[in-house]
Amino acid sequence: MKTGITKLLNIQYPVIQGGMAWVAEHNLAAAVSNAGGLGIIGAASAPADIVREEIRKCRQLTDKPFGVNVMLLNPNAEEVAEVIVKEGVKVVTTGAGNPAKYMDMWKTAGVKVIPVVASVALARLMERGGADAVIAEGMESGGHIGQTTTMALVPQVCDAVKIPVIAAGGIADGRGMAAALMLGAEGIQMGTRFVVAKESIVHDNYKNKIIKASDIDSAVTGMSTGHPVRCLRNKMTRQYLDMERSGADFMELEKLTLGSLRNAVIDGDVTDGTVMAGQISGLIDVEKSCKDIIEETVREAKHFITTRGDIWAG
């Protein structure tokens, strides 16, 4: 495939892996990169030293390009931003905020910067600030989300900027990829699909919760605090939403979720833990290798794009 994204990143397929907290570690990132996509190490809330180690471990597993995601609510974001430059990482994606203050440092170091945006306004701002591409992420996604769906956001962002756009949110197969390309995107980012990859170190309980989920099994917590987060429904989301409805304050809600994503991802506590996942969970019914995920997605996308002309064939 050749798109603005494969050319920009020097990769075989325009398929990027989401920078998911606790999930996007070096094994998953290397597997995605080795399969021809772009693997991403999610720095999430990790201290800079851990991120440095993850980068070095990833390098031992792949000689292909990979990136690091900087979660901008991370109190260590500044040091992580510097580690990326010092370690010679070539691609950065950002999430949960505006990366403007790191842009010059990264651009000067020759790092390709690809911010996740949830609105047209931020996409425009990022293009003006020197971003190489943007990821337009719809509210179908897991984790921290914006307010607009992928279907509505992607074409509007594509019309607003000249840099290549990557679509994210609600994509887990070739139909989703084909649709994203039709909306004007030049690549896709998938998160939930890669959580249920063979190379993903996520606890089996977490993977099985996604596999068993149906279309309506996610909920959005944190609307009242201004940090909406999509996760699969469980005892934790019910408790959280009950507390929100009864007017609990931010600190009380924070206390409830402290460490809860780690408890679900690493220890497999999918009852009291936080199971971040997207609305497309209902489509995911089997664990596959990253290579199979990427190759089947691309093959299916090509099939749909090249055969749908039949509709007008009479």
Q: Dig out the tokens for 110 from the structure.
A: 């020759």
Binding mask 230-269 for ligand TUI (x = CB under 6 A): ----------------------------------------
Indicate whether 161 belongs to the interface with ligand TUI (CB under 6 A).
no
CB of 249 to ligand TUI, least distance (A): 16
Which residue type, as a one-letter code, is found at position 291?
K
CB of 138 to ligand TUI, least distance (A): 9
- Alpha carbon distances (Å) from 114 to 69, 76, 86, 127, 172: 9, 19, 18, 10, 21
Q: Give the contacts of 193 (CB within 8 A, at least 6 positions apart).
A: 171, 172, 173, 280, 284, 293, 297
Please name which of 6, 58, 53, 56 lies closest in space to residue 34, comparing C-alpha atoms.
58
Q: Which is nearer to ligand TUI, 116 or 301 (CB)?
A: 116
Contact range with ligand TUI by CB under 6 A, out of 26-34, 56-64, 106-114, 116-124: 116-124
- By residue count, the chain amounts to 314
Indicate whether 118 belongs to the interface with ligand TUI (CB under 6 A).
yes
Which of 80, 145, 165, 284 is the binder for ligand TUI (CB under 6 A)? Answer: 145
Indicate whether 143 belongs to the interface with ligand TUI (CB under 6 A).
yes
Which of 15, 43, 96, 284 is the binder for ligand TUI (CB under 6 A)? Answer: 96
Binding mask 41-80 for ligand TUI (x = CB under 6 A): ------------------------------x-x-------
Please name which of 168, 176, 178 lies closest in space to residue 134, comparing C-alpha atoms.
168
- Alpha carbon distances (Å) from 275 to 22, 139, 170, 271: 11, 16, 16, 9
Q: Which is nearer to ligand TUI, 137 or 140 (CB)?
A: 137
Distance, CA of 314 to chain centre: 40
CB of 195 to ligand TUI, least distance (A): 12
Spatial distance between the Cα atoms of 6 and 33, rounded to a whole number of angstroms: 12
Q: Which is nearer to ligand TUI, 117 or 166 (CB)?
A: 117
- Which contiguous run of DSSP H or E holds residue 56? helix 48-61
Q: Which residues make up the interface to ligand TUI (CB under 6 A)?
A: 21, 71, 73, 95-98, 116-118, 122, 137, 143-146, 227, 229, 276
